[in-house]
Amino acid sequence: MKGRFLINGETWELEFPPEATLLEVLRSNGFTEVKHGCDDGLCGACAVLLNGKPVPSCQVLAATATDQPIVTAQGLGTVHRPHPIQKALAEAGAVQCGFCTPGIVVSTYALLQKTPDPTEEEIRHALDGHICRCTGYVKILEGVRLAAQRWKRAK
Amino acid sequence: MGRFVGKPIPRIDARDKLRGTLRYVADLKVPGMLHGAVYRSPVPHARLKGVHLDPGFPWNEFVVVTARDIPGENRNPMILPDQPFLAEDRVRYIGEPILLLAHPDPRRLRAAFAHIHLDLEPLPAVYDLEDALRPDAPRVYPPDNLFVKYEIRRGTPEAVFRQPGVQVVEATYRTGFQEHVYLETQGMLALYRPGDDIKIVGSMQCPFYVRNALRALTGGREVEVEQAPTGGGFGGKEEYPSLLAAYAYLLALKARRPVRIVYDRHEDMAYTTKRHASVVRHRTAIGADGRILAMEVEVYLNAGAYATLSPVVLARAILHATGVYHVPDVVIRGYAVATNLPPSGAFRGFGAPQTLFALERHMDFLARNLGQDPIAFRRRHLLKNGQAFPTGEVMQQAERVQAVFQRALEVSRYRERQQALEAWNRQHPNRRRGIGLALFLHGAGFTGSGEKKLASRARLVLLPDGTVEIRIGSVDMGQGTLTVLSQIVADVVGAPLERVRYATPNTRYNADSGPTVASRTVMVVGGLLEQAGRRIRHRLEAALGRPLEKPEDYEEAVHRLFEAEPTALEITEAFRLPPGVEWDEERFQGKAYLDYAWACYVAEVEVDLTTYQVKPLKFVAVQDVGTVVNPLLAEGQVHGGVAQGIGFALMENLEVKDGRFVESRLAEYIVPTALDLPPEFEVEFLYRQGDRPRGLGELPMDGSPPAVINAVVHALNTEIHRIPITPSKLWHLLHPEAPR
């Protein structure tokens, strides 16, 4: 079947099998920053923003995601001007193997959009849907705190 | 400290990872590529008498590979020659690869599986290591289901145990299987080029191990192997990628097209290697003065159906069995036991977490039994300089052990917190808090003879444009190799950091710097790069006519060096054992490791007596790993290793039922998330002027499980001898009368 997808501010007319997940459609069309981690919607590597809310794209039927804004990690910032969240996470040492990272970036963006001044609890809950096997989360949490401070100041 | 070494420099590859533009093997787009899949044994143990393909099925659409398609040897060249790439006449575990398929449409692969029929004659199977040791047990590995057995002996422990007045304390400790859960599953791509010149690209820790495996598979071809950005390894991508590369290679060879195999999470969890489940029996002779006189330690590892790396995992396990303590008379025996399970393999810590859990629990258990304070009891038994480890190696760094011990007690305010928590418990009937500690070591690098055999080489190339290229086989799998080795090279050469380039690890163009394992990369490979860099610097300074001092001197020196002849300067250094490092691998005597890292970890926990959940509240990690090249990344290694250790101790339950791992999806196998880790976490590195790096990556995995469990024991005043201790297991432990 065919559908119109609004990905990172651009419109894409894409063909896909009716049973395809949003993850499959995104990855097979070059959005490989959306990672395939577990198939069960539990690891967060495939998180994207759908209508501004983070969702595990492996659990979303592609057919239900047409005509709605979708944001991936590449939709935030550019190569030469990384988004403040990306900058803060890099400086805090929040990145190791990098496979969970694009998902964490979009969830952090969703959190700070809604809650510019999050509490520790709110940060931990926002990231609870993401598995990072490398960092023990300590520096990811630091990165999110740093991003929140900077973003608030920039606004 | 230099301009870069010692500085908290953010990792060089962070930007691409944060945008998601870094391409892992599953992200590569390859024209004409087929998808590969592995057809596996559905039974744990059987004679395989035939493989039949349904004649009504359109097999001409598929590429089909069996053991008969292997051009060279059907044996994975590991320590023992027991593991076939593809099963021939026998299968030994559920999931053992039998046949390979490739097709342009991955969805067609599953459909084809239903049209493959096996002629199997079932054999009895065994999964539990203690069952496998019974005389009447099914034979997985003849004659006795032992891949190897080792012994380390010092003095005459048997005589001490027989002395009158000696008190003997015994306990048995058990640890479960553990799954790596690297976030990127295993994946491998075979690129077909004319003349059957196939190039392998994939997720791996050890490109040269993969090359060696393919050399056997092909009967001697030098296959080019290249690492793709790797999304976590933790040991899980040490030996396993050799098999996957062989499968992708065989399919591409037959198809004459590129083939990629990427496991899904379930396949990865169900059939790839795990940390060895263990049983460790301690028998300890205590003298009338309450001192340890002798120890007998028996270490059993469940190795699964093939030996893979189990002999060396077992060696490391027994070499860490008595830790930092002086035991005058001691015998340590180790057994790698064959069972009908997927082969166990490398996992961060490599046998040491199992024996150090047993030891650091046992030290608490002994102290509590003898009415002694666990801190004082440990201090009494610390190896002094000049005293010997069971291997005969003489302790020379006792003050470093004392320093981490002392500092951890200070930072955690151990005594004060111990009393405060006990008072807190009196106020809170439904919750219990406790504090616990572990004092431990990790031998850095392979054993002495192992590093000698590896004879690693590292290459630096100074290009005429001033780029310094690092050409080695050591990989970055997330731990930060790319950044820290670049820091080391920039400092020693005198180049700006951005002039150092880390060439993609590749077996055709780079030097074989050995596998990316055993906490050896910064210590061994970093050391070789330093030697090579020093030679480059000499050449630059000779060209410049004076020492490189200011940053701008570098460009001037490069210009002068290449003025006459713009030919790249290539320096390769080879590892040689330092004098005095002798290791007898038969008798387990001599200097086991090139050096050691030392640490003391303290945990505070809370146990909820309604839900039986254990919540870590605070963690203090003090270690001496020598020079810290990059504190930001080093702290990240400690945080991540401790998180895996907390998971191993409290959450990551992996049961075996009828030859299968029950928890083979992330819905069932629970790893820590941001909510599960201690809200307070302090990391400190102790080192001295003139220190060199001594291995960090595995250390945090060794000490965190016993620290956490000793805290739970303190909280509940109940001994725990087995991990993981999930809420339901803790409930049963506290309600022994309840039916299971």
Please give the ipTM for the structure prediction: 0.98
Which chain A residues are within 8 Å of B260, Cβ to Cβ?
none
Final residue in a domain of this structure, among A31, A51, A72: A72
- Chain A closest-CA separation from residue B597 CA (Å): 20
Contact indicator for B612, B174 with CB cutoff of 8 Å: no
> Do A98 and B17 make contact, defined as CB atoms within 8 angstroms?
yes
A-chain residues within 8 Å CB-CB of B22?
98
- 3-class SS at B440? strand
Task: For residue A78, tell me if it sits in a domain.
Answer: no
- The verdict on a CB contact (< 8 Å) between B18 and A37 is no
Check B10 against A131: CB less than 8 A apart.
no
| A49 CA: distance to closest CA in chain B (Å) | 15
Residue A78 has pLDDT above 80, yes or no: no
Q: Is the dihedral of CA A66, A111, B635, B699 positive or negative?
A: negative
Cross-chain residue pair B636–A93, CB shorter than 8 Å: yes
What's the burial of B561, exposed, middle or buried (CB within 10 Å: 0-12/13-18/19+)? buried
Q: Å from B384 to nearest chain A CA?
A: 35
Nearest Cα residue to A102 out of A21, A7, A39, A31: A31
Do A20 and A52 belong to one domain? Answer: yes
* Residue A79 in this model has a pLDDT that exceeds 70: no
Residue contact A73–B18, C-beta within 8 A: yes
Mean per-residue pLDDT pooled into runs of 10, chain B (740 residues): 92 94 97 98 98 97 98 96 97 98 95 97 98 98 97 98 97 98 98 96 98 98 98 98 98 98 98 98 97 98 98 98 98 98 98 98 97 98 98 98 98 98 97 98 92 96 98 98 98 97 98 97 98 98 96 95 95 94 94 97 98 98 97 98 98 98 97 96 95 96 98 98 98 90
- Of B351, B356, B309, nearest to B334 by C-alpha is B351
The residue assigned the tokens 């892992």 is: B24
Task: Please tell me whether residue A106 adopts helix, strand or coil conformation.
Answer: helix
User: Do A49 and A28 share a structural domain?
Assistant: yes
pLDDT 10s digits, A83-142: 899 999 999 999 999 999 999 999 999 999 999 999 999 999 999 999 999 999 999 999
Rounded to an integer, what distance in angstroms lies between the CA atom of residue A80 and that of residue A101? 18
Single residue among A36, A51, A72 that ends a domain in this structure:
A72
What average pLDDT score do residues A34-61 get?
Answer: 97
Inter-chain contact B229–A101, Cβ cutoff 8 Å? no
Q: Report yes or no: B637 and B695 within 8 Å, Cβ to Cβ.
A: no
| Partner residue facing B677 (CB), from A72, A130, A136 | A136
pLDDT score of B332: 98
B641 touches chain A (CB under 8 A): yes
d(CA A140, CA A154) in angstroms, rounded, equals 21
Give me the CATH number covering residue A52.
3.10.20.30
Look at residues A72, A94, A113 and tell me which one is the last residue of a structural domain: A72
Q: Is B316 on the interface with A (CB under 8 A)?
A: no
How close does chain A come to B487, measured CA to CA in Å?
A: 16
Give the closest of B20, B182, B633 to A133, CB-based. B182
B183 with A91: Cβ contact below 8 A: no
Please give, rounded to a whole number of angstroms, the shortest distance from the CA of A14 to a CA of chain B.
18
CB of B478 within 8 Å of any CB in chain A? Answer: yes
Residues A66 and A102 in one domain: no
B589 pairs with which residues across the strands?
Answer: B584
Tell me the DSSP string of B303-336: EESS-TTHHHHHHHHHHTTTTTB--SEEEEEEEE
Specify if A46 maps to a domain. yes
Contact assessment for residue A64 and residue B603, using Cβ atoms and an 8 Å cutoff: no
Query: Is A77 among the domain residues?
Result: no
What residue type is assigned to position B287 of the chain? G
Look-up of token digits 């998601």: B20
Do A62 and A9 have their domain in common?
Answer: yes
Ordered structural domains, chain B, with CATH: 14-21+450-574 (3.30.365.10), 32-122+198-254 (3.90.1170.50), 278-447+588-734 (3.30.365.10)
H/E run at residue B271: helix B265-271
Inter-chain Cβ pairs, chain A and chain B, closer than 8 A: 185
Please state at what angle helix B553-563 crosses helix B526-544, rounded to 10 degrees.
70
CATH number of the domain encompassing residue A140: 1.10.150.120
- Nearest-CB residue to B10 (from A91, A125, A130): A91
Q: Shortest Cα distance from B549 to chain A (angstroms)?
A: 28
Count of domains in chain A? 2
Q: Which of B279, B385, B352 is nearest to B599 (CA)?
A: B352
Contacts of B11 in chain A (CB under 8 A): 90, 93, 95-96
Search chain B and give the residue with CA nearest A74. Answer: B19
In this structure, the answer to whether residues A93 and A39 fall within a common structural domain is: no
Please report whether residue A79 resides in a domain.
no
Closest CA to B663 of B592, B724, B613: B724
| Containing structural domain, residue A30 | 2-72
Interchain CB contact of B644 with A (< 8 Å): yes
Evaluate whether residue A29 is within a structural domain. Answer: yes
Confidence band, pLDDT 50/70/90 cuts, at residue A82: confident
Q: State whether A40 and B632 contact (CB < 8 Å).
A: no
B682 and chain A in contact, CB less than 8 A: no
- Predicted structure pTM score: 0.98
pLDDT of B448 reads: 77
Q: Kindly tell me if the per-residue pLDDT of A155 is higher than 80.
A: no
Digit-coded pLDDT (tens) for B425-476: 999 999 999 999 999 999 999 987 899 999 999 999 999 999 999 999 999 9
